[in-house]
Amino acid sequence: MLANTKAVIFDLDGTLVDSMWMWKAIDQEYLGRFQISLPDNLQSEIEGMSFSETAHYFKERFQIPDSIEKIKKDWNEMAWEKYKNQVPLKKGVREFLELLKEKQILMAIATSNSRELVEMIIEVHGISPYFSAIITGCDVEKGKPAPDVYLKAAKMIQVSPEDCLVFEDIVAGIRAGKCAGMRVCAIEDCYSIPQKEKKQELADYYISTYEEILS
């Protein structure tokens, strides 16, 4: 899998950290402030959207009176404590990052999350030094499944897309990586179990944990 790979670009939520569960809880709590029930299809509707795109979606769909900046600020504050104390690295992540470092393979993060939360969580887990670049959906015109965030990450670390390997946990992210002309490894996550067959169909590789690559 790592042969002829010059860079590995990771998604964050559900890929490096076990955090997908918490966003549904945050959405439910946030909408509850406005006496709005969480729609059953909300998670699938916003999947892959950037932090800003999601805020715009919430404001328009649910007629939230607050500004986009206020919505994002509230989400950051709600997520902060959970990320800090309740969100672990996925199994084998630290060892895999060390392996890539030993092989002199560059690493970057391309995520739909906010920069503030990304920087906080990789700092909390002590993995910040591994990454040469962090790109968020807010840094590009279109979020996943558009390839923008992955193409920008490759440009930032000065590696051609065909020499990059992407790790992703959701279908929209896998499509983004493939549309960018990169190889993609899908990783299993409890949140996306219903998408397993589609993930396996779209991705070049599929793993349950990073330990499979290490063994």
CATH of the domain at 80: 1.10.150
In terms of Cα–Cα distance, which of 43, 42, 77 is closest to 62?
A: 42
Q: Are 94 and 100 in contact (CB under 8 A)?
A: no
Q: Tell whether 25 is covered by a domain.
A: yes
Residue 180 lies in a domain: yes
Which of the residues in the chain have pLDDT under 50? none
Domain that holds residue 52: 20-86
Q: What angle do CA 100, 20, 82 make, to 5 degrees?
A: 95
Sheet holding 133-136, edge to edge: 133-136, 106-111, 7-10, 164-168, 183-187, 205-207
State how far the Cα of 127 lies from the Cα of 94, in Å rounded to an integer: 7
Phi, psi dihedral angles at 185 (to 5 degrees): -110, 120
